[in-house]
Structure 1
Amino acid sequence: MTSSALTKPQVRDLLAKRLRFCIHGSCSFCKFDVAAPRKKARADFYRNYDSMKDFEEMRKAGIFQSAK
């Protein structure tokens, strides 16, 4: 039987390398899949938002007690 020597697993700096990869991956995911769509949706909402119209609708619905 021939025995071949197995290569030793990398133990030194393994955690640092994995964390570096995971942190960059999660930051990219957060930026492009979460933050960017929320930012775009918020900008789209406030582009045509009329605060006085919204206030009048809430006032007519009776939400505010001080404004009649």
Structure 2
Amino acid sequence: MASSALAKPQMRGLLARRLRIHIVGAFVVSLGVAVFCKFAVAEPRKKTYADFYRNFDSMKDFEEMRKAGVFQSIK
């Protein structure tokens, strides 16, 4: 008697409905992570490289390394 009082669960289309919800959620989360990585990692890194190479003198750096004895074939 008690089992007849319970409503039958809706099974048709259940997987499709759950997948639709999870795919949308996964897309939103992945888009958020991509935006976070771009602005928290990539942009500061590009700015740091640009700042470094703006005033970088390769010949001066080479001479400092040569004087320090980094290169074995150059005296």
Same-fold status (TM-score > 0.5): yes
Q: Deviations over 1:19-66 (max 9, x none)?
A: 111111011001111000000000000000000000000000000011
CA distance in 2: counterparts of 1:12 and 1:64, whole angstroms: 60
Between the two proteins, the alignment pairs up a number of residues equal to: 59
Unpaired stretches in structure 1, ≥5 consecutive residues: 1-9
Structure 1 moving runs of 4+ over 2 Å: none
Q: Larger C-alpha radius of gyration, 1 or 2?
A: 2
Residues 1:49 and 2:56 are matched in the alignment = yes
- AA paired with 2:74? A
How well do the aligned residues superpose, as a CA RMSD in angstroms? Answer: 1.1
Unpaired stretches in structure 2, ≥5 consecutive residues: 1-16
Higher mean C-alpha displacement, 10-19 vs 40-49: 10-19
Q: Percent identity?
A: 58
Deviation at residue 11 of structure 1 after TM alignment: 2.1
CA distance in 1: counterparts of 2:46 and 2:54, whole angstroms: 12
- AA paired with 1:40? K
1:11 match: secondary structure = helix
* Superposed counterparts of 1:1-68, under 5 Å: 11-68=18-75
TM-score by length of 1: 0.81
CA distance in 2: counterparts of 1:67 and 1:50, whole angstroms: 19
TM-score by length of 2: 0.73
